[in-house]
Amino acid sequence: MIFATVGTQGHFDRLIRTIDGWAGANGRTDVFAQTGPSDYRSEYIRTERFIDATEFRERVEAASLVISHAGMGSIITALELGKRIIVMPRRASLGEHRNDHQLATAKRFADQGSITVAYTEEDLIERLDRLQALNETERLTSPASPHLISTIRGFIGSGRAVADRISYNSAENGNAE
Amino acid sequence: MLRDPMSDGNSVPEISVPLRGVRPKVLAVSSGGGHWVQMMRIKHAFDDCDVTFVTVHESYRAQVPDNQFYLVNDANIRTKLDLLRAARRLAWIVWTVRPDVVISTGAAPGYLALRFGRLLGARTIWLDSIANAEKLSMSGDRIGRSADLWLTQWPHLARPNGPHYTGAVL
């Protein structure tokens, strides 16, 4: 099962059209795409304009591969559920977004090594061909940084605890004197 | 510290007993999509707290069934009327919840919540979205300086006076 998603903010037909074509050429009938506000009529893949958050998670969970725009919701959910993800950033020059921040996001994540980035349609087809040949299904794991969690937890707990500690200590000092 | 271990051991419960009874009230505010997913990634940091989540889609409620949950309309800097509606709603929520800590992963609703939280004496945390890999978000840049804890998720964006980097949600 392949799940493609472009988020809710605008259509991204360049991505959907490429996947549709690839699915047709490879006889894949197990591709589902969330297309956003798009009028593109797909030939080979099933589509839905919008799906709710619960179905979104279920779709990612059921997929062996996620293909998406460089939106954080898609990237994080895929990585969180240990799924392989190919990301194609929206381009401002093609009217797909207000600016090219998706390009920057995609590059950073690609540098981290956690995602695969397809910068062009040809790129995407090549990546899909390669992954299909490998047919890898093992999960990747990626917990949130324990240090980040402990920083926030410490901050929430400590403000109060530190204040108490300070007053306790000064009371203690007062008694000692 | 210079006291003998026995009395030191006795003093610890005296400090922690009153603390144990009081669970900090956390107000966690985020927009939809990636902002919400990132909030879910850090929710274990609030395990010992009474958490109220505020976000923009009813369908997210199912992911936090054991917590208080409020909806706010989404807004951004270009939609002044929505911003006003969100502000009114968040002012009411902050007034009702009276949080000890307000935390947000963005975007505009979180900015507003931190502002109101601060007015009522809450401590504030801004975790800038991991999506902002090249520069900080507009909300983050505006609110970060006044947040008590200002975090970025990219080491190259960290600065000595904040934002600080201590890891990312991935």
Chain segment A62-103, per-residue pLDDT in tens: 999 999 999 988 998 898 787 899 999 999 999 999 889 899
Domain presence at residue B63: yes
Domain presence at residue B12: no
Q: Please count the structural domains in chain B.
A: 1
At residue B85 the predicted structure's pLDDT band, cuts being 50, 70 and 90, is very high
Farthest CA pair distance, chain B = 63
User: With 80 as the cut, is the pLDDT of residue A176 above it?
Assistant: no
Contact (CB<8Å) B103/A152: yes
pLDDT on residue A108: 84
Domain presence at residue B10: no
Say if residues B163 and B136 touch (Cβ distance below 8 Å). yes
In chain A, whose CA is at the least distance from the CA of B47? A153
DSSP-assigned states of every residue in B65-87: TTSEEEE-----TT-HHHHHHHH
Mean pLDDT for B13-34 is: 73
User: With 70 as the cut, is the pLDDT of residue A136 above it?
Assistant: no
Task: Provide the CATH topology of domain A2-134.
Answer: Rossmann fold (3.40.50)
Domain presence at residue B134: yes
Domain presence at residue B142: yes
Mean pLDDT for B33-39 is: 88
- Which of B37, B49, B114 would best serve as a mutation to test chain A binding (most A beta carbons within 10 A)? B37
Is residue B49 classed exposed, middle or buried when 0-12, 13-18 and 19+ CB atoms within 10 A define those classes?
Answer: buried
CA–CA separation, A102 and A15 (whole Å): 14
Q: What is the pLDDT of residues B104-162, one digit of tens each?
A: 999 999 999 999 999 999 999 999 988 777 778 888 888 988 899 999 998 989 999 89
At residue A140 the predicted structure's pLDDT band, cuts being 50, 70 and 90, is low
Tokens at B57, concatenated: 């889609």
3-state DSSP call for residue B26? strand
Domain presence at residue B144: yes
At residue B65 the predicted structure's pLDDT band, cuts being 50, 70 and 90, is very high
Global pTM value:
0.70
Contact list in B for residue A142 (CB cut-off 8 A) is: 170
Mean pLDDT for A106-117 is: 85
In chain A, whose CA is at the least distance from the CA of B99? A156
Mean pLDDT for A124-150 is: 79
Domain that holds residue B122: 23-165
At residue A150 the predicted structure's pLDDT band, cuts being 50, 70 and 90, is very high
Contact (CB<8Å) B37/A72: yes
CA–CA separation, B133 and A80 (whole Å): 19
Say if residues B106 and B137 touch (Cβ distance below 8 Å). yes
CATH number at residue B90: 3.40.50.2000
pLDDT on residue A171: 36
3-state DSSP call for residue A120? coil
Domain presence at residue B127: yes
Per-residue burial over A107-146, b = 16 or more CB atoms within 10 Å of its CB, e = otherwise: bbbbeeeebbbbeebeebbebbeebeeeeeeeeeebebbe
CA angle A75, A6, A18 (to 5 degrees): 110
At residue B78 the predicted structure's pLDDT band, cuts being 50, 70 and 90, is confident
pLDDT on residue A76: 84
Contact (CB<8Å) A160/B103: no
Domain presence at residue B7: no
- What are the domain boundaries of chain A? 2-134, 143-177
